[in-house]
Structure 1
Amino acid sequence: MTGNELVEKIASSLSLTKADVKKTVDALFAEIGDAAAKGEEIAISGFGKFVPKKRPARDGRNPATGEVMTIKAATNISFKPAKALKDKLNG
């Protein structure tokens, strides 16, 4: 499902304009992104948690040349589904 398809489904189910729903969806994801960038965990009851995880720098190899290189540290985000979502996915 794309973002536009999500907006269309929400707009039709709530009888709202697509423009209003798009603003809301964009604001929701912006807030989740901002909180994650600050290192905060975002928990949505019945859905799951978005958890930022720090990955330390490590050595790797350039696959083309075999040269050893350092892969810089990074922060990623992981998602842990809530029990209700797991149950929905697994019947």
Structure 2
Amino acid sequence: MNKPMTKTQLVAALAEQMGADKKTATAALDGIAAIVATEVSAGGAVTLPGIGKVACRARPEREVRNPATGETLTKAADRAVKVTVAKALKDAVA
């Protein structure tokens, strides 16, 4: 199994793809990450064309079990990040 691409490798590939330097590619990547984090934490969603959709969804209060003790607890409602992969990316991988 291959190791995931590191940020350094991603920045180098992005810089080459853009025909720009690594500093510009790093700024672009960090800017996208900041925008996605801000929008999703505010409860919104961001679509990254060709990649997928990143959204925040509410999870209701639910019963959970402690596997060590078997004790049942009530977990408060919370929010979770959900990533839906774009059809174009699914088709490219298949």
Short-chain TM bin: 0.7 to 0.9
TM-score (norm 1): 0.82
1:56 aligned residue: 60
- Listed one character per residue, the Cα deviations across residues 19-41 of structure 1 (whole Å, up to 9, x for unaligned) are 22112101101100111111112
| Partners of 2:74 and 2:27 in 1: CA distance | 40
Range moving further from structure 2, 32-41 or 44-53: 44-53
Give the share of equivalent positions with the same residue, in percent.
33
1:75 aligned residue: 79
| Partners of 1:15 and 1:87 in 2: CA distance | 27
* Aligned residue pair count: 90
Shift of 1:51: 2.2
Unaligned runs of 5+ in 2: none
CA RMSD of aligned residues (A): 1.7
Unaligned runs of 5+ in 1: none
